[in-house]
Copies of this chain bind each other. A is one copy, B any other.
Amino acid sequence: MHYTHLVFYIFERIHFEVFWIIMNRTYKQIQQITLAVDCIIFGFDTNKLEVLLVHRGFEPEKDRWSLMGGFVGNNEDLDKAANRVLCDLSGLENVYMEQVRTFGKANRDPYERVVSTTYSALILKKDYRAELISEYRAEWFSINNLPDLIFDHKDMIVSAIQRLRRRVRTVPIGFNLLPEKFTLPQLQKLYEGILGEQIDKRNFRKKLRTMDFLIRLDEKDKSQSKKGAFLYRFDEKEYNKAKSFNI
């Protein structure tokens, strides 16, 4: 190796080692931050999409509404923390949940530095244990009529709705908001509620007819009309064969 190359090489080598030593020290001394999860819990009520909010019972921000949240334990998976919070506060397990995004502005909670990862959950409203409503001062709100919320919880809900609107068109997750057996008018109202727009009945049903995983049962639901509407169920096995969905 040429002399100047060698000098350059040694210099670079030292530079490199020093950089990593600094990195390594940083690695040990770094500041720690309180990490939270907040759950945007969606439910569906005949024709509108709703979120479940809790009434904050302590200062600061007493008497304002907030999402259900909790802190992440030191040895707890982030996803598990979200499930725990949902389960603690709703009594429900094995609920469809997915991460939305992480909110990390330094002053988002003006009282303390908290970074929060949001998760959205789709639950069947009637599975939600009614007694918890009073226990946690929880209440369902239509997404079109949200109350005043603490911190950036409104932004959290908005971004969860945006994501839900995108996802619900390409993945059959909407069924989590309906009972196992449902009618097509119900399903259409669900989609209209989520997307916030009217859908043509014939075009909607035409699309659904092409989906082999939507099984028509020999039963009718007569609660909404005299004629009665056929009940359907979502067949997961059949869906997994092709995994194509598009509304």
Q: Please name all residues of chain B whose beta carbon is closer than 8 Å to the beta carbon of A101 when the two chains form the complex.
A: 99, 101-102
Distance in Å: Cβ of A201 to nearest Cβ of chain B: 27
Which of A43-51, A131-139, A140-148, A171-179 is found at the contact surface with chain B?
A131-139
Distance in Å: Cβ of A228 to nearest Cβ of chain B: 40
CA distance A72 to B115 in the complex (A): 10
Total interface residues in chain A, CB < 8 Å: 47
Q: Please name all residues of chain B whose beta carbon is closer than 8 Å to the beta carbon of A113 when the two chains form the complex.
A: 74-75
Query: B106–A30 contact, CB under 8 A?
Result: no
* Copies of this protein, total: 2
In the complex, the chain B residue whose C-beta lies closest to that of A131 is: B12
Among the listed B31, B78, B105, which residue makes an inter-chain contact with A71, where contact means beta carbons less than 8 Å apart? Answer: B31
Q: A31-B74, A35-B33 are in contact. Are A58 and B102 (CB under 8 A)?
A: no
Question: Interface residues, chain A, CB within 8 Å of chain B?
Answer: 12, 15-17, 19-21, 23-24, 26-27, 30-35, 56-58, 70-81, 99, 101-106, 112-113, 115, 117, 134-137
